Amino acid sequence: MSDGWTEPSAGTAESHGKYISAIYRHMQILIAAELAPYRIGSGQYIFLMAIAGREGITQKELSESLLIDKTTTAKAIAKLEAEGYVRREANPADNRYQLLYLTEAGRDVVPKVQQGLNQVKSKASKGISDEDYAFMLDLLKQVLRNVSEHTRGGSAN
Amino acid sequence: MSDGWTEPSAGTAESHGKYISAIYRHMQILIAAELAPYRIGSGQYIFLMAIAGREGITQKELSESLLIDKTTTAKAIAKLEAEGYVRREANPADNRYQLLYLTEAGRDVVPKVQQGLNQVKSKASKGISDEDYAFMLDLLKQVLRNVSEHTRGGSAN
DNA sequence: TTAGATAGGATGTCATTGCAACTAATTGCA
DNA sequence: TGCAATTAGTTGCAATGACATCCTATCTAA
């Protein structure tokens, strides 16, 4: 649709990449600002919420379900642990891995983080109907499936 | 709906954030791999294409139209210049501005980069009809408008 | 039992990106 | 005219995140 550069039939036209990237960067800023009071960065909240959703999860499982590199996971968990929100517990049956649990402070902060995330979500989805929003999520899921198939971290790391 | 954690009416339910972030990260990887032969990273291609779309643009204008911080722009342009794809020219009327142009090598590489981006786009949009894709883009644009309103870089940097 | 394979993690390095603070050039107002 | 404010761009620093590589613990097979 005329952006300056060409557009032969299907393939060259406007791509989601530009918007995905811009939205991602702005969301990072909004979330970081929202969670700064709890000393939780935009790179950690997703792990905190995932652990809240299933205590006793391992780093490997986190990496797989969030499609994030395991070393990134390791560093984020280390930060959450340093802040006192997450606790590691060696699995007595297999000392190679450690089970992740929330601390008291972690359990206290999770609802606040959830609220902050809701703030950001409601800002971001203003002017979009629930149906349209749900439809967009479905399409984004399809895109994610497509792109994660083509990268190393597609299913594991 | 239903991911493990709560969902009081509208606000807590599944959010685009998770998908945006995962798609962004995987796209970065795909694009970097696609453009590696030309020594153009995932952080530079968007500037190259924007300059191709309007030669003589300034860094300020790039930052505004791409919604990217001006310091990020400065660094990306420096890399493109170091690779010999972009050339800076001082504006004689106002020495604060530098006008950006493609070099010969830049003009040569642009179609190849466009092709690489098309590759990535077609991988990413597999299984999505043109209509649905266009609809998704519209929704993403709305989300971007929403989030960019709330950050410093909303209109400028 | 022990060598090799496997798996969870940790560490070092690099690219992308944003913010604070700075420089240099231009503009505007007294 | 002259100095303060504005504007374009740069530099230093920090956070996010991926990849390569290494360490250690566990498991498998000879």
* SS3 label, residue A90: strand
Q: CA separation (Å) from B66 to A13, A26, A152, B59?
A: 17, 12, 29, 10
**Do β-strands A98-102 and A86-90 pair in parallel, antiparallel, or remain unpaired?**
antiparallel
A116: Cα within 13 Å, side-chain hemisphere: 24
Chain D, protein-covered positions (CB within 7 A) = 7-12, 15-21, 24-27
User: What pLDDT score does B1 carry?
Assistant: 38
Mean pLDDT calculated for residue range B57-76: 96
Mean pLDDT of chain B: 89
Q: CA separation (Å) from B116 to A1, B38, B121, B145?
A: 20, 11, 9, 28
pLDDT at B9 over 70: no
User: What pLDDT score does A10 carry?
Assistant: 43
Taking the Cβ of residue A19 and every Cβ of chain B, the question of whether any pair is shorter than 8 Å is answered with yes
CB burial class (10 A; 0-12, 13-18, 19+) of residue B35? buried
Please tell me the distance from the alpha carbon of residue B48 to that of residue B41, in angstroms, as a whole number: 11
Chain A residues 110-139 with CB within 8 Å of chain B: 114, 117-118, 120-128, 130, 132-133, 135-137, 139
A145: Cα within 13 Å, side-chain hemisphere: 10
User: What pLDDT score does A12 carry?
Assistant: 56
Per DSSP, helices labelled H in A36-129 are 45-53, 59-66, 70-82, 104-124
pLDDT at A6 over 60: no
Within its chain, how far is the Cα of B65 from the centroid?
10
How many residues in total does chain A contain? 157
| Exposure string over A14-46, b if 16+ CB within 10 A, otherwise e | bbbbbbbbbbbbbbbbbbebbbeebebbbbbbb
Please tell me the distance from the alpha carbon of residue B105 to that of residue B102, in angstroms, as a whole number: 8
Please tell me the distance from the alpha carbon of residue B124 to that of residue A14, in angstroms, as a whole number: 13
User: What pLDDT score does B86 carry?
Assistant: 98
CA-closest candidate to residue A139, choices B157, B87, B19 = B19
DSSP, residue by residue, B72-121: HHHHHHHHHHHTTSEEEEE-TT-TT-EEEEE-HHHHHHHHHHHHHHHHHH
pLDDT tens digits, A140-156? 999 999 999 877 654 44
Please tell me the distance from the alpha carbon of residue A135 to that of residue A7, in angstroms, as a whole number: 27
Footprint of strand C on the protein (CB under 7 A): A 21, 25, 28-29, 58-60, 70-71, 74-75, 77-78, 96-98; B 28, 32, 41-44, 68-69, 71-72, 75-76, 79, 94-96, 151-153, 157
Domains belonging to chain B, first-starting first, are: 16-121 (1.10.10.10)
